[in-house]
Amino acid sequence: MRIHHLSCGTMCPFGGRLWDGFSPVLGPATLVCHCLLIETEAGLVLVDTGFGLADVNNPRRLSAFFRFANRIRLREEDTARRQIEARGFAAKDVRHIIMTHLDFNHAGGIEDFPEATVHVLDAELAAARKRDGALNRRRYLPMQWDGPVVWQPYALDGERWFGFRCVRDLVGLPPDILIVPLAGHTPGHCGIAARTPEGWLLHAGDAYFFRGEMDLDEYHCTPMLRFYQRMMAADNAMRLNNQARLMQLKQTHGRAVRLFCAHDAKELDMFPPLPAQTAPVPVPRTEVPAQPSPAQPVRVRPRPSRVRERKGSAGDTISGTRAANKVTSGPVSEDR
């Protein structure tokens, strides 16, 4: 399993280090959109998509508030689609997209990969479709994902990973990739864990924003990111609780799990580009299974206008039987 770390969009709000902790204070900050491109035997898997080609071609589809407040820099070469093509792959090789959540700066590239099944927690999909309140109408932009998208929503099923609840056995994906619910930033926000030969990686999405928030010696966060996270939190108490649990995870299992978040440029720098591909990536010729496995007994029926039924697709199967998306606090354990 080869994992590429990409930034699929940049936000450059004024205030420099008041946001990112390192840029000149009178200039723009650099906030990345850290996405993963994972080469697996099930084809290419994307974790988050940043901004997409349609955002580049029509920036006005993004909320004017966030476009100006975040000073979003949109460049075609930064999109996941173009970066994947630059590595010698095609858009159709991307068979799966796993979303930490559906905010505008994570979901913009979903429709650039029409062959992909999009895995997401059902609580997030419900919140994004509902869009209640002024903040949700600006953060969730249906035009980014209301085309012919094949959704694969999940409820929680009681599985555990290092003491966190998690969703295992994602449909069509290797068992080394898990969804770890980390609600708070949004109702169905989650981290994505991937097991590598060197240990686990956890893409924590927007569960935290600044590397100092996971500093075991001295917690610190820049003032603007502190404010921004509070402003964007759907449930701030749950956000802080999950952030504390991530810190605990790092404290107790920092050697086994490597953590990073979506927007910290210095964290992205810790993962240098992979060397060029020496052999073609195995891309399966078959679709994902047509029938749910016994591990996914529950079926939900998404709104038909929003879901493209693809022949041979697992479509609307969900894993597990518990609809709860709340993450309960508890000790970080050895379960994994």
Beta bridge partners of 155: none
CB of 205 or CB of 315, closer to Zn ion: 205
CB of 262 or CB of 327, closer to Zn ion: 262
* CA–CA distance, 207 with 67 (Å, rounded to integer): 22
- Provide, rounded to whole angstroms, the least separation between the CB of residue 263 and Zn ion: 6
Question: Cβ distance 242 to 182 under 8 Å?
Answer: yes
Q: How far apart are the first and last CA of the chain?
A: 19
CB of 121 or CB of 262, closer to Zn ion: 262
**Residue whose beta carbon is closest to Zn ion:** 206
CB of 39 or CB of 206, closer to Zn ion: 206
CB of 189 or CB of 245, closer to Zn ion: 189
3-class secondary-structure state, position 193: strand
Count of residues that interact with Zn ion, criterion CB under 5 A: 2
CB of 111 or CB of 206, closer to Zn ion: 206
Cβ-based neighbours of 302, under 8 Å, separated by 6 or more: 125, 151, 153, 316
Amino acid at 96: H
- Provide, rounded to whole angstroms, the least separation between the CB of residue 330 and Zn ion: 26
* CA–CA distance, 204 with 189 (Å, rounded to integer): 9
CA nearest neighbour of 209 among 230, 194, 238, 192:
230
Window contacting Zn ion (CB under 5 A); options: 23-31, 117-125, 198-206, 265-273: 198-206
- Provide, rounded to whole angstroms, the least separation between the CB of residue 24 and Zn ion: 24
CA nearest neighbour of 155 among 124, 195, 130, 185:
124
- Provide, rounded to whole angstroms, the least separation between the CB of residue 260 and Zn ion: 13
- Provide, rounded to whole angstroms, the least separation between the CB of residue 290 and Zn ion: 34
CB of 103 or CB of 112, closer to Zn ion: 103
- Provide, rounded to whole angstroms, the least separation between the CB of residue 103 and Zn ion: 5
Binding track over 254-293 against Zn ion, x by CB under 5 A: --------x-------------------------------
**194, two tokens:** 């991937």
Question: Cβ distance 288 to 146 under 8 Å?
Answer: no
Question: Cβ distance 276 to 159 under 8 Å?
Answer: no
124 is an interface residue for Zn ion by CB under 5 A: no
* CA–CA distance, 274 with 264 (Å, rounded to integer): 19
Binders in 21-40 for Zn ion, by CB under 5 A? none
CB of 39 or CB of 264, closer to Zn ion: 264
Binders in 46-65 for Zn ion, by CB under 5 A? none
- Provide, rounded to whole angstroms, the least separation between the CB of residue 96 and Zn ion: 20
- Provide, rounded to whole angstroms, the least separation between the CB of residue 72 and Zn ion: 12
Binders in 201-260 for Zn ion, by CB under 5 A? 206
* CA–CA distance, 270 with 103 (Å, rounded to integer): 25
Question: Cβ distance 16 to 24 under 8 Å?
Answer: yes
* Kind plus residue range of the DSSP H or E element containing 90: none
Residue numbers of the site for Zn ion (CB under 5 A)? 206, 262
